[in-house]
Amino acid sequence: MSLKEFFEENKKIALAFSGGCDSAYLLYEVVRNNADVTAYFVKTQFQPEFELNDAVLLAKQLGAKLKIINLDILANSEIAKNPCNRCYLCKSLILSEIIKAAKKDGYNIIIDGTNADDNPAERPGMSALAELKIKSPLRDNNISKREIREKSKNAGLFTWDKPAYACLATRIRSGKEILASDLVKIEQGEEMIKNLGFKDIRIRLSEDNALLQFKKEDNKRALSMEKIISKELKDLFPKFTIDTKGR
């Protein structure tokens, strides 16, 4: 079933919306095919502010309805403990909140932006999609990340070249409790480094140090700017190491 056929058959749709490249393109397609859609963005401590801002801007540009659900994810003690299946637990909780809100609004079909390249072995949260009967039309149509970026660029979506983004919780090693204060520091630190001209950065926490991971093509520049980066991060991460391997 093509995307067009899917939207002809499903005229009333709720979208699990992250503000990223994939779900942004899917929202564009839903609107383009004249389906009744509401996008649901769940704001937790794991999402940085820029993701919410992108979601709001994209929905506004497309003229789509957007509902923001605020969720204290760390109130769930099991997720806060950061077990090895945290991603699955988090995805299940977030999707359950979307389902609850969507059904209240009269939606029974819920979709997300999972694409053909997404590997379940690398994304444990994907099993929650099947369990909760979330449909993934991009994946079902074998649409790859590269195709999504190309189509998004042609459609004029500002998200076409947005880097893939893993939530802030992924910066903290499995088994170490997730604290709201650590998430705030990570978000602030990454934003500071982005303001130095780096588009894609991860700050990962260890016991008494922070590991800065840049894209491989940015590593040389990052190492040459280590003193500048140190000055920016001195109040948040007085001790850090730049990963020389890159990402």
> Residue 140 has what pLDDT?
95
> Residue 121 has what pLDDT?
72
- Four-residue CA torsion sign, 46, 50, 51, 56: positive
Same domain, 77 and 9: yes
Same domain, 90 and 185: no
Same domain, 123 and 221: no
Residues comprising the chain, all counted: 247
Does 102 map to a domain? yes
Same domain, 211 and 141: no
Calculate helix-pair angle for 21-32, 49-62, nearest 10 degrees.
20
How far is 39 from 60, CA to CA, in rounded Å? 11
Which of 126, 161, 196 represents a domain boundary (last residue)?
Answer: 161
Which of 161, 195, 213 represents a domain boundary (last residue)?
Answer: 161
Contacts 24+ apart (CB under 8 A), 78-87: 79/178, 80/177, 80/178, 81/177, 81/178, 82/169, 82/172, 82/173, 82/174, 82/175, 82/176, 82/177, 82/178, 83/174, 83/175, 84/174, 84/175, 85/124, 86/169, 86/174, 87/123, 87/124, 87/125, 87/170
CATH at residue 207: 3.30.70
CATH at residue 138: 3.40.50.620
Does 170 map to a domain? no
Same domain, 150 and 202: no
> pTM for the full model?
0.93
How far is 241 from 139, CA to CA, in rounded Å? 38
Q: Mean pLDDT per 10-residue run, the chain (247 residues)?
A: 91 96 98 96 97 97 98 98 96 98 97 92 83 96 97 97 92 96 97 94 90 93 94 94 88
Does 195 map to a domain? yes
Q: Are 22 and 114 in contact (CB under 8 A)?
A: yes
Structural domain count, the chain:
2
How far is 226 from 231, CA to CA, in rounded Å? 9
Same domain, 206 and 85: no
Same domain, 37 and 153: yes
Which of 161, 192, 222 represents a domain boundary (last residue)?
Answer: 161
> Residue 234 has what pLDDT?
93
Same domain, 133 and 89: yes
β partners of residue 43:
70
Same domain, 59 and 142: yes
Same domain, 81 and 188: no
SS (H, E, C) 202-238: EEEECCCCEEEEECHHHHHHHHHCHHHHHHHHCCCCC
Does 174 map to a domain? no
| Structure-derived torsion over alpha carbons of residues 224, 229, 230, 236, reported in degrees to the nearest 10 | -160
Domain of 192, in residue numbers: 179-242
